[in-house]
Amino acid sequence: MNQRQVENAIAELKMDYINLQGDIEKLESTGNDSFVQKAELRLAKLEDELAELNKKRAEFV
């Protein structure tokens, strides 16, 4: 991956993260706890992916 690809991937993951947070808020308000748990696991995965991409981005600087 080059620097531009890493930056684009980070931007996409951030958007996914924001959207998923909104989905979680909606699910919590409707009482869908099992879906909330699954969404929170997905958030954790996104956080891990972002951390890895941020490490790669730091290598370019």
State residue 37's pLDDT score: 94
Confidence band, pLDDT 50/70/90 cuts, at residue 25: very high
Work out the average pLDDT over 29-47: 94
DSSP H stretches of helix in the chain: 3-30, 33-60
The model's pTM: 0.87
State residue 61's pLDDT score: 75
Cα 43–chain centre separation: 5
State residue 32's pLDDT score: 85
Q: How far apart are CA 6 and CA 49, in angstroms?
A: 11
Work out the average pLDDT over 7-30: 95
